[in-house]
Structure 1
Amino acid sequence: MTIATVVAALLSGGLIGLILGLVGGGGSILAVPLLVYVVGIGSTHMAIGTAAIAVAANAAASLAGHARAGMVKWRCGSAFAMAGVIGAAMGAELGKALDGKRLLMLFGLLMIGVGISMLRKRRAAEAPDVRLTRQSAGYLLPRLLPIGVGVGLAAGFFGIGGGFLIVPGLMLATAMPLPNAIGTSLLVVTALGLTTAASYALSGLVDWPLTALLAGGGVAGAAAGIALGRRLASRKNLLERIFAAIVIAVGLYVAFGAPS
């Protein structure tokens, strides 16, 4: 492994962790393009397996910070995560069976769709005190579980944490406020990332030294993202729009502009 590769991996991990800590999702959707086009992994499937472990580690680091701030709805997140793990296991098997170039093109199309969806305004009444209890399970679980399976399927198929899908999914299912959805989503990202990573690791599709570098950079990036998020809390909508534009641009390149 060259010095340039080590530096590229550390910086890529830092960027992934920064975005996860800042907005609770989205860093993972950049992980595969970063590994393919910046770090230089030749295999799309190897990039997906390696990214999944790095994303799970980075999400866990960010989760600790949000948990200390009391922003995690543990019961809602756990139910969502358990359903998501089932979907992620199925999605990972489907993804490994698909040709790498076609998988990368579909990944680019997904990025474009996600970026566009991030630009849409959320218009849901918030329920800051929402909790999953015996009384609320009757109406919360029928929302949390199917959305969780769907998000997990996409996360496993594309080897992503799915935070950009989990945050709006949690808000749709429970009406929890955005700060709680961001914190809670990191619990789910960790679980889905580990599920996808286990599937790819069993198939020998993980670059372990590279994973360690990505995770190391991600820990520092996550701490910076959480701190920056507190400073820029009043401008979070602007940050999300800028990030959405970046996701769309990278998606266009991956789907249509990248060399085959």
Structure 2
Amino acid sequence: MSTLLLALISGGVIGLALGALGGGGSVLAVPALIYLLGFTPVAATTASLVIVTATSLTALYAHARDGNVRWRSGGLFAAAGLLPAALGGVVAADLPPALLTGAFAVIAAAASLRMLRPSAAALDALPVRPGRAAGTGAGLGAVTGMLGVGGGFLAVPALVNVVGLRMRAAVGTSLLVISVNSLAALAARTGAAEQLDWAVVAPFAGAAILGAWDGKRLAAKVSGGALRQVFAYVLLAVALFMLIDVLARLGPS
């Protein structure tokens, strides 16, 4: 199968998951880029940031049009993650590939396990703790910058439980946070981004954007809980495969 076709299929599937789930779908971009398209871990996390930024900005426009983005709360939350996202982007370039892949696998496994847990209903009003919100925003920025994941699976519950947003507003506002963090991390990786194979990354990102629109339609027809469960098990299997691969590479030759 040609590289271009693999990029289109991978992007379409990831966009479909992102559109259907509203967060967490893009976490499969890194393993797809490494194991299907032959990217190094550093190049994969950089390319994933490009894909995450493109899809998040597109989805942000749609949610903003529907009035689901809380610009002030999201802007303050994102501001806390700007510097950690940039620093994470710089640090990732110097990390050993095995460590970067292993860290990503751990985050992916944590994301899948969280998806399998029943979500708590959002309350009408929650006490907002500025210190905790800033710390959470900074942590999310660092994860985005270092591992190239949007972090919707982390941002949405944080915006509900820490900032006090209702679920629909949290999903829309998380896209603002993800877009800002991804752009900051990309700015720190300018040199790495210039070396990407854009003949692969561009169609991958384009297919992901188109797939996200189909994902929204799929979510209207299929139970959201069922979709999330299926995706969580797939993500857990991918995370375990990556961990086994890392351990095999570190083992005796």
1:39 partner SS: coil
Separation in 1 of the partners of 2:74 and 2:19? 17
Q: Which amino acid aligns with 2:238?
A: V
Asked whether 1:53 is paired with 2:41, we answer: no
- 1:33-48 aligned at under 5 Å gives the runs 33-41=31-39, 43-48=40-45
Contact 1:105 1:256 in 2 (8 A): no
Please give the TM-score of this superposition, normalised by the length of structure 2: 0.88
Deviates more, 1:7-16 or 1:139-148: 139-148
CA distance in 1, matches of 2:14, 2:175: 13
Q: CA RMSD in A?
A: 2.2
Q: Distance in 1 between matches of 2:195 and 2:113?
A: 31
- Give the Cα separation in 2 of the matches to 1:17 and 1:76: 26
How many aligned residue pairs are there?
247
Contact 2:122 2:160 in 1 (8 A): no
Whether the aligned pair in 2 keeps the contact of 1:14 and 1:218 (CA below 8 Å) is yes
Q: Which runs of 5+ in 2 are unaligned?
A: none
Identity of aligned residues (%): 36
Shift of 1:34: 0.5
Deviations 1:140-195 (A, max 9, x none): 53343221101111111111111111111111112323222222111111112222
Residue from 76, 83, 88 that aligns with 2:85: 88
| Conservation of the 8 A alpha-carbon contact between 1:80 and 1:148 | yes
Q: Is the 8 A contact 2:87 2:188 kept in 1?
A: no
* Structure 1 residues 149-160: aligned runs within 5 Å: 149-160=138-149
Deviations 1:52-109 (A, max 9, x none): 1111101111222222222222222111111122221121122222101221122112
Say yes or no: does 1:251 pair with 2:239: yes
**1:124: Cα distance to partner?**
5.0
Partners of 1:34 and 1:182 lie apart in 2 by 25
Contact kept? 1:18, 1:221, Cα under 8 Å: yes
* Aligned counterpart, 1:26: 24
> How far did residue 202 of structure 1 move?
2.5
Partner residue, 1:133: none
Counterpart among 4, 14, 17 of residue 16 in structure 1: 14
Whether the 8 Å contact between 1:127 and 1:174 is mirrored in structure 2 is no
Deviation at 1:226, TM superposition (A): 2.0
Residue 101 of structure 1 aligns to which amino acid in structure 2?
A
| Structure 1 unaligned blocks of 5 or more | 131-135
